[in-house]
Structure 1
Amino acid sequence: MIKHADPEVQRRRLRIMLRDFRQSRQLTQKDVARELDWSTSKLIRIETGESSIAVSDLRALLAHYEVTDPEHVDQLIEMARIAKHQTWSSYRDVLSPALLLYLGYESSASRIRQFEPLLIPGLLQTEEYARAIIRAYSPPSRSDRDIERILQARMERQELLSREDPPEIFCLMDEAAVRRVVGKSGVMVRQLEKLKRLNELPNLHIQIVRFEAGEHPGMQGPFAILDFPDPADDDLVYLESPSAQALSGEDAAVYVEKFFQIEDLATPKARLNGVMDELIADMGRAQRPTPTADS
């Protein structure tokens, strides 16, 4: 019986198990591919999660790895069948494969820890803030329709905040993320007001690293750490960049420690409203015309 039926979780768990089966037998990917008359790239794609595995190919791999216990084989086949479903597949025309993979993991996480140095995290964005950011990031050739589709995906992603069993979420942001004015007049003020409302949720903790904290490890770039409800699943770290990476094991542990270091520098959850009110007041003053000598 599969405990967690999320497709991305099952795909990740299955590929890790297949890799471990191969390594425990001291076989290289090239060795296995040659014995099964596959291309090496096919096995690499399966082990990295870039493609799902057909049941017939899974049976061939398990036989090669001498995994023969019927109950275990049936469980792995069920995992493969679940993994073939794509929960975010309707957006594959506008979202990158790396982001689609991350969204599947995010929706099944029990805890999300995220740091953003320059932007409000996507889970917390207002629709108008998100639209402005998507437009700023889009090439001139991207159509209005595609921009709205990306926006729709982002808004759907936020549904996990209000579901019956929401994950515990810790969002750290550098002060630069909340000071930079995005969009037309009023957009940023409404975004900051939304952060105050969201911070009232018991499972959501929003903290700001003020400028006076000085240099800190998060200045290297944004990242998210996902924990999963099943102890069999390792933490997963997602590095946001044009060449997005997903890390686990010891590599992920480095980012967990980095998150705690940044968290120690951030304002506590209880002080968020004060920080937001200060920023909103600063924005109001910045928008007032400067008095002239004749006024």
Structure 2
Amino acid sequence: MARPKKPPTTIPRRQLGRYLRDMRQEAGLSIQNAARLIERGTGTLQRLEKGEAGRIRFLDIQALCQVYGTTDKYPALEELAKAAASNDGEGLWWHEYSDAIRADFELYVSLESSASKLTIFRPDILSGLFQKASYARALDRLYYPAANEDELDQRWNVRVNRQRIITRRRTPVQVDLLLDETVLRRVVGDAWTMTNQLHHLADLPANVTVQVLPFTSGYPLGVAPGPFTVLEFDRVTGEKPTVYVEGYRGNMYYDKPEAVTQYRDTFSRLEAQAMSPADSKQALRRIAREYEQ
């Protein structure tokens, strides 16, 4: 039997957990003592502070406010807890595709959907956020050889829903996308697939800036940093900038300021060696024509 997924760690859940953790620390209580005082297990309070609680109990929030001497904050926390609790299946499109999203990728999808800006470097393969159907299906047929057409449709629908943050009318996400030339040259599917995909990249809306790092730039860092995404959020969310590093065996998240700064600086150094946005669009269309021949 498959192990059940953890409840989704979404922005409201993480916000609630952060407030509760800060209140506990300001009260000078360990997590063990705080849990004992409200007659709950240490693990239960840990999951609540991490935004991973299976069930959010309002009585627990109220009891914690009393223990921490912050009962004046309870009304606001109650509203946040309601928003967090409502994430148990309503209003989050990715819940419909739980079988098609890896458990360790669900957090990223949640963060991506709430981000105000994405800074993406891809040296290897195009992110699902920009894939056309033929490109995506060519990859999925290889990665999931036993998948039937319905399952492949589910995986494509996940990408369709993710891509709405780029094309939505109100506050579309701002994206700085930097692609190594390898992404344009390594064939996925067939020549038609590549032609279609590269034209799509050249025609992305104005909120997406695409630049190409050419082969002639060599290794600007003296090392290959691998793919990464820096996610940034509006201040109202309370969410800290986060770096997402995708790996074959699992994903990593970094939100310490020094880590975020390092990846921002890395992107800037790579970007300085890339083609301009205008030249990159020309390169995309030129290489697309090469596939047409």
* Class of the TM-score when normalised by the shorter of the 2 chains: 0.7 to 0.9
2:141 alignment partner in structure 1: 135
Aligned residues: 274
Deviations 1:160-190, CA, capped at 9 Å, x for gaps: 2221121111111111122110013310111
| CA 1:255–1:20: 2 relative to 1, 3 Å | farther
What TM-score comes out, normalization by structure 2 length? 0.84
Q: Distance in 1 between matches of 2:51 and 2:164?
A: 25
Residues 39-60 of structure 1 deviation map (CA, whole Å, 9 limit, x = unaligned): 3332232222233633222222
2:50 alignment partner in structure 1: 48
Residues 80, 27 of structure 1: alpha-carbon distance in 2 compared, 3 angstrom cutoff: same
Shift of 1:194: 0.7
Question: Are 1:247 and 2:254 counterparts?
Answer: yes
C-alpha deviations, 1:233-289, integer Å up to 9, x for none?
Answer: 32122221232233223132322222222222221211122211342355456xxxx
Does the C-alpha gap of structure 1 residues 58 and 216 become closer, same or farther in structure 2, counting only changes over 3 Å?
farther
Shift of 1:158: 1.0
Partner of 1:8: 10
- Distance in 2, Cα, partners of 1:156 & 1:130: 14
Alignment partner, residue 6 of structure 2? none
Contact 2:178 2:271 in 1 (8 A): yes
2:66 is aligned with what amino acid? A
Structure 2 unaligned residues grouped into runs of 5+: 1-8
Query: CA 1:61–1:136 in structure 2 vs 1: closer, same or farther (change >3 Å)?
Result: farther
RMSD over equivalenced CA pairs, Å: 2.3
1:64 match: 67
Is 1:227 matched with 2:232?
A: yes
Q: Relative to structure 1, is the Cα distance of residues 80 and 156 closer, same or farther in structure 2, using a 3 angstrom cutoff?
A: same
Partner of 2:34: 32
| Residue identity matched to 1:92 | S
Q: Which residue of 1 aligns with 2:242?
A: 236
Amino acid of the residue matched to residue 134 of structure 2?
A: E
Residue 4 of structure 2 corresponds to: none
Contiguous gaps of at least 5 residues in structure 1: 1-6, 286-295
Of 262, 269, 273 in structure 1, the residue corresponding to residue 277 of structure 2 is 269
Bigger mean CA deviation after superposition, 212-221 or 202-211: 212-221
Q: Check 1:253–1:126 CA distance in 2 against 1; reply closer, same or farther (3 A cut).
A: same
Residue identity in the other structure for 2:288: I
**263 and 25 in structure 1: CA distance in 2 versus 1, 3 angstrom threshold:** farther
Amino acid aligned to 2:230: I
Q: CA deviation at 1:25?
A: 3.2
2:13–2:52 Cα contact (<8 Å) kept: no
- The equivalent of 1:187 in structure 2 is 193
Q: What corresponds to 2:219 in structure 1?
A: 215
Matching residue's letter, 2:30: T
Counterpart for residue 84 of structure 2: 83
The yes-or-no answer on 1:163 pairing with 2:168 is yes
Quote the offset at 1:98 in angstroms: 3.3
Query: Shift of residue 220 of structure 1?
Result: 2.6
Which amino acid in the other structure matches residue 212 of structure 2?
I
| Contact 1:89–1:100, Cα closer than 8 Å, also in 2 | no
Report the equivalent of 1:205. 209
Hey, what does 1:289 align to over in structure 2?
A: none
Runs of 4+ in 1 over 4 A off after TM superposition: none
In the superposition, relative to structure 1, how do residues 74 and 153 fare at CA in structure 2: closer, same or farther (>3 Å)?
Answer: same
Paired residue for 1:110, among 108, 116, 141? 116
Amino acid at match of 1:249: K
1:293 alignment counterpart: none
1:152 to 154, 157, 163: 157
| Residue aligned with 1:181, SS | coil
